[in-house]
C-alpha cells in the first residue's frame, strides 16, 4: 500500500509539473543526454524519461514494469475493474479504447495489416511483427541456461519453466498442474465438457482446434501423413 501511495503521489506531482510547464512555453530547457533543446519543459522531461531506468514504475498487483505514470494508470484499470469501453456486439468491456478497437476486428474479420513476404493479413501490428520473424529467422530471446533462442518473450518464459520445474497453474478439479495457463485452459474442457470447435460439414464438435483440423481431412479426402517405408498415406497422424 505504501508503494502504491508513492506512485499516486509521483503521478500527481507529474501532472502539476506538466500544467506549470505549459504556462511557460517561451522558456528553453536542454536535455542532459542528447543536448536537445525543447520549447516546452514537459517535452524535455518526457525525453529524459527515455534514458532514466529509475523512472520505471511497477504495478503492485502483478509486478509488471511500465515506463511512465500514464501507462501504469491505464494498466491499473485492469485490476480495478474499470472497463469503460464496451463492445457493441458481445458486450465485453475493456479498459482502453485501443484494446476495444482491436477486439472489434474479431467480429468484423478485418485484417488491415499485410505481410509483404507471403501476403498474409493480420489484425494487430504486434502479430505482424512476430510473424515477420518466421521469414527473417530472428530469435531475439535467448535462454541463459541452455542458450536456446525464441521469437517471443512469452515462449522463452514458458521454456524457462522446464529448467526450474515450475508448474504454477493448478486445476481446481483434479489438482493437476501445468506450466502454461493455456494448457490449463485446454485441460479444463475435460471437466466442463466444452467443445467450442464445430465442423461446418457434419456439425461434430471438438475441444481442440487441432482435433477439428485433423477431422476435416475426412471430408476433404486429404491424406497428409505418409509412411516412409511403403509410402501409404493416411488422414490422421495417429493412424500412421
Among the four given CATH numbers 3.30.160.60, 3.30.70.2740, 3.40.1710.10, 3.40.50.2000, the one describing domain 197-234? 3.30.160.60
Distance CA 174, CA 191 (A): 9
Spatial contact of 195 and 186, defined as CB atoms under 8 Å apart = no
Q: What is the mean pLDDT of residues 156-184?
A: 87
**pLDDT tens across 41-97, in order?**
455 555 555 554 445 778 877 777 777 777 777 777 666 655 677 888 787 777 677
pLDDT at site 69:
79
pLDDT at site 80:
62
Q: What is the mean pLDDT of residues 183-203?
A: 88
List, in sequence order, every residue forming a beta bridge with 141; answer none if it has no partner. 150
The CATH number of the structural domain formed by 2-80 is: 3.30.160
Which of 9-13, 53-57, 92-96, 185-189 has the weakest average pLDDT?
9-13
pLDDT at site 176:
92
* Domains 2-80 and 92-138 belong to one CATH topology: yes
pLDDT of 25 over the 50 cut: no
Model confidence band, residue 39 (pLDDT cutoffs 50, 70, 90): very low
Distance CA 31, CA 40 (A): 12
Note the helical H segments in the chain: 2-22, 41-49, 69-80, 97-108, 125-136, 153-164, 181-192, 209-220
The CATH number of the structural domain formed by 92-138 is: 3.30.160.60
pLDDT of 212 over the 60 cut: yes
pLDDT at site 33:
42
User: To the nearest whole number, what is the mean pLDDT of the chain?
Assistant: 75
Model confidence band, residue 2 (pLDDT cutoffs 50, 70, 90): very low
pLDDT at site 81:
59
Domain ranges of the chain: 2-80, 92-138, 197-234
Amino acid at each position: 500500500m505504501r508503494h502504491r501511495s508513492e506512485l499516486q503521489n509521483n503521478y500527481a506531482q507529474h501532472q502539476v509539473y506538466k500544467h506549470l510547464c505549459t504556462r511557460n512555453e517561451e522558456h528553453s530547457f536542454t536535455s542532459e543526454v542528447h543536448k536537445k533543446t525543447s520549447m516546452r519543459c514537459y517535452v524535455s522531461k518526457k525525453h529524459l524519461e527515455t534514458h532514466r531506468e529509475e523512472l520505471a514504475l511497477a504495478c503492485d498487483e502483478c509486478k509488471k514494469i511500465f515506463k511512465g505514470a500514464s501507462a501504469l494508470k491505464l494498466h491499473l484499470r485492469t485490476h480495478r475493474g474499470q472497463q469503460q469501453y464496451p463492445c457493441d456486439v458481445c458486450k465485453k468491456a475493456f479498459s482502453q479504447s485501443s484494446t476495444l478497437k482491436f477486439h472489434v476486428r474479431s467480429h468484423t474479420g478485418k485484417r488491415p495489416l499485410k505481410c509483404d513476404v507471403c501476403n498474409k493479413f493480420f489484425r494487430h501490428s504486434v502479430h505482424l511483427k512476430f510473424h515477420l520473424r518466421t521469414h527473417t529467422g530472428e530469435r531475439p530471446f535467448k535462454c541463459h541456461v541452455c542458450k536456446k533462442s525464441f521469437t517471443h518473450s512469452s515462449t522463452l518464459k514458458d521454456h524457462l519453466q522446464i529448467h526450474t520445474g515450475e508448474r504454477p497453474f493448478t486445476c481446481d478439479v483434479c489438482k493437476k498442474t501445468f506450466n502454461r495457463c493455456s494448457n490449463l485452459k485446454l485441460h479444463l474442457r475435460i471437466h466442463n465438457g466444452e467443445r467450442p470447435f464445430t465442423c461446418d460439414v457434419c456439425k461434430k464438435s471438438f475441444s481442440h482446434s487441432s482435433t477439428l483440423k485433423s477431422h476435416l481431412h475426412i471430408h476433404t479426402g486429404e491424406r497428409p501423413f505418409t509412411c516412409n517405408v511403403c509410402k501409404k498415406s493416411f488422414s490422421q497422424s495417429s493412424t500412421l
